[in-house]
Amino acid sequence: MALTRSHSRPFFAAFCALLATVALSVQPLAAQSILRDAETEALLRDMAYPLVEASELEPENVEIVLINDSSINAFVAGGQAVYVHAGLLNAADTANEVQGVIAHEIGHITAGHVVRFEERTKGAQGISILSLILGVGAALAGAGDAALGAIMAGQQAAVGNFLAFNRNQEAATDQAGARYLSGAGISGRGMISFFEKLRNAEIRRGYSQSDDAAYTRTHPLSGDRIQFLRDQLRKDTAWDAPDDPELQARFLAVRAKLFGYLAKPERTFQEYPTSDQSTPARYARAYAYHKDAQVENALAEVEKLLKTDAQNPYFLELKGQILLESGSPGLALEPLRRATDLTLNQPLIAGMFGHALIATEDETNYDEARDVLRAAVAKDRFNPFAWYQLGVVYARQGDIPRAKLASAEQQVMRRNYPEALRNAKDAEAGLPVGSPDWIRAQDVALQARAELERLRDER
């Protein structure tokens, strides 16, 4: 018995560690911060459109979502949404490279890999659980070493099986991405060059590129992927197709814009010095100056951008944003109104315009703010900022039931279900029975109540 106790302590420590490993391997993706920007979303949508068509998915059903993460990554996580990290856009040199990544991720969607991933995870768990049962049985019989060996063998089998499945998926998805590029008439040069970037990054970080290391990887070796894809894509008629110059110009502007928005100002000024008078450089510096509270310099950069393209709605949006956030909402109205008109009431831009109208604290602007914000949320219901502003203007006009409904809409999106339920019930009590808003208040209350019950059941 003494010997059994001495082995049982390391056994149970290892047992707990292995359980933790299993748990971590099957955790769902953590909630991440989504970046919303009208110009970036329009660019990503235009990049993806021909690829989505080539895949025979419906373009209106596929979303490209930007994640605020500096790592070089893209992924799918259920449904028909492709998530692209901001770091990937920063690492890419061309729009064509980003299209190569998007084509690959669309391949995951068409193959249903997220569903199959969940199925395979359960299979891997089954192997692990069986080994755990055998290990616990051996431990209870006093054979601690045998127990640990059974568990570790089962873990190794589960992980190896699971990683092999992932590598096969990735290889198949590379082929699908190549087909979609070909079908869209887009060169695969970008896909190859981006994989080369990934391989170089792996080498710099010390990741082995040998065949012996392949067993422990979730993806095929980058060198193997490059060789296979190069052989396939060079034969394609689209290989020598030129890059779209307009799309490339838009990409460079957006990449610089995101850099200026996300990076510390000093980094932006190093990357885009004042000696660089290009549009992307001015765009990046305008955001950096704004972040650094250098309002005059920020506005000077925007004015120079507008001299090159006075009808660019995103330059106008930036001018309005700088003026609004520096305490001049009245001056922000004209550029934001023009940007809203030029984009046919793009919801994110319209939301900022509505905010500026309210921020003037001029009651004569409230009707316009209400109408602008109602149009914004009608186009994009998943816009908590616009819902919040709509609630503010309703409250200022004394329409408390609709202010409560707007607050409920916002709180549901923020997953504050108790507050959403209270506001929805208050709104329902004060709205005309049978009206569209009264019916919507009921719907929001039902949604919030269902989510609360789900969370209660999970606990």
pLDDT, tens digit, for every residue of 201-238?
Answer: 777 776 555 554 444 444 555 677 788 888 889 999 99
Supply the CATH number for residue 52's domain: 3.30.2010.10
pLDDT tens for 106-153 read 999 998 755 444 544 454 444 444 444 544 444 445 455 554 554 455
The predicted model gives 375-382 an average pLDDT of 95
Residue 147 counted as domain residue? yes
Total tally of structural domains belonging to the chain: 1
Q: What's the pLDDT at 231?
A: 85
Q: Which domain holds residue 216?
A: 34-234
Residue 416 counted as domain residue? no
Contact 282, 274 (CB under 8 A): no
The predicted model gives 154-183 an average pLDDT of 67
Q: How far is 426 from 415, CA to CA, in rounded Å?
A: 18
pLDDT tens for 317-347 read 999 999 999 999 999 999 999 999 999 999 9
pTM: 0.79
Contact 409, 437 (CB under 8 A): no
Residue 98 counted as domain residue? yes
The predicted model gives 94-107 an average pLDDT of 96
pLDDT tens for 424-459 read 999 999 999 999 999 999 999 999 999 999 999 988
Tokens, residue 256: 């610089």
pLDDT tens for 58-93 read 999 999 999 999 999 999 987 899 999 999 999 999
Q: Which range is least confidently modeled, 11-20, 114-123, 197-206, 301-310? A: 11-20
Residue 59 counted as domain residue? yes
Residue 278 counted as domain residue? no
pLDDT tens for 243-277 read 999 999 999 999 999 999 999 999 999 999 999 99
Residue 204 counted as domain residue? yes
Percent of the residues in the chain that have a pLDDT greater than 90, as a whole number? 69
Is the pLDDT at 291 greater than 70? The verdict is: yes
Q: How far is 276 from 150, CA to CA, in rounded Å?
A: 63
Provide Rg for the chain, Cα atoms.
Answer: 27
Q: How far is 216 from 241, CA to CA, in rounded Å?
A: 37
Residue 45 counted as domain residue? yes
Is the pLDDT at 13 greater than 90? The verdict is: no
| Residues linked to residue 83 through DSSP beta bridges, in sequence order | 65, 75
Q: Which residues does 398 contact at the CB level (< 8 Å), separation at least 6?
A: none
Is the pLDDT at 40 greater than 50? The verdict is: yes
Residue 115 counted as domain residue? yes
